[in-house]
Chains A and B, each alone.
Chain A
Amino acid sequence: MSFCLNGVGLTHANGFAALKELTLKAEKGERIALIGPSGAGKTSLLSVLGTALAPTVGTAEVLDFGQNFRSTVALAKLRSRIGTVHQSPPIPGRQRVVTAVLAGKLGQWPAWKSLASLLYPLDIPGARAALERVDLADKLFARCDQLSGGQLQRVGIARVLYQQPELILADEPVSALDPTLALATIRLLVADAEARGATLVASLHAVDLALGNFTRIVGVRAGQIAFDLPASEVGVPLLHDLYASEGDELPVQAHESHFLPPAAANDAATRAACC
């Protein structure tokens, strides 16, 4: 088992219930896409999985670690096994790309190594390898405030690739990338998870990206799970239902009206890659 949420509810400090009675389970190595309208609770759900927020009701177990039980040492150990790709990459502008990538392993490195790396990056080949996979090897020693928004987001992804976590959480990981690069990056995350047998949970606003690359699709609406199906069983009516609050158009990468021949989900992704 990779994680198991049981009747989880999350109420924010202002009293707003972002998640209600939510139950979701995943085995090791599964690749799940979260889709749903804005404000549905995708980020909230990922925050609970990432141990950033503790559920206010119900139980959450992540990588065999009951979250409701909290000891800081064990929690830090657990967290070093979880990698998160954030929507806006949380990287200081004045940091160099190499340092930002190496920071992915701060939870695993001994203290001396983390300290020494501030003076001289101790794993340059490792950082370069991760950056090569997102096509940014030439920026290894650049400063992050010299990168474009999309490049910075890819640095955030390289950091997670370098961290090699057992559970990858991604919150709209490609929102700053153009369609071609977005597809390539999603494929990269999926391939990385597949190769290492890691679990991947990604929230996406482009339905075609989700259907084309993930095996399991979880629709979230109003803090609850609307559906939880293999990609091949997710049809257009179901999607229109999910996005009812946002009008008739479904959010996609490629702006063609007939993007989704049911059951041939991969085509949408292919098309997205061509435009």
Chain B
Amino acid sequence: MTRSDAACGTANGSGPWMLEIENIHKRFGPLTVLRGIDMRVAKGEVVVIVGPSGGGKSTFLRTLNHLEKPDEGRVKVDGQLIGCEERNGRLVALPDSRVAVQRRQFGMVFQQFNLFAHMTALENITAAPIKVLKVPREEAVAEARRLLALVGLPDKEKAYPEQLSGGQQQRIAIARALALKPKVMLFDEPTSALDPEMVSDVLKVMLDLSEGGMTMVVVTHEIGFARMAADRAVLIDGGVIVEEGPPDAFFANPQHERTRKFLSKVLDHRAT
């Protein structure tokens, strides 16, 4: 049995959860970044993750859609195992091409937007539907225009990323992720690279999404957004979940010393 097979563990039945994450471990060489993370997210639930730099938040998000292959543990979306498949009662790791197909169930939004630099806003949104899903061009373009309107940028379809502000780029990036009709949206500090005046445009789009019933896992230090949109707040540090709870209690009255320390730092930073 190879190591990647071992990472699949054993198959179990699925519950009512959109996302079931069990015992995720991730190492980079000698450095252990994730030390066993479990999480279940219901359909339509919004989970906000906070935590100090280097704590493993980004790595955790990236193991969910298998941009990073977890060394141990497993991820299920809507009951389907990601990265592995049961064959003759045994779990085997899937090849790159199959994992790529499964990955479409997640939309991902990055801190640095990562729009395709050689494509216009419209092409950024239609590229994957046309090339990956083989959607007819006219259909993909119509859907992309609908998404551009949704994120408030109907007049930017011909603009290249370099011609757009950070906030505009991030909203196009959200539209690009939505174009694949994902079941879960992952956000990795979507507003951290933005000028303050653009943050609210992006948060508004995310708020609309959550109200529309999208299941979301959001790494962010926007406490205001967390309180308004999140069903649950989670602190990840040292590769484990230190504390989790309903946002109001979590931010107003944290139970753990590490959470308290972290929150006071973030709030201090915001105040100055």
Do A and B come together as binding partners?
no
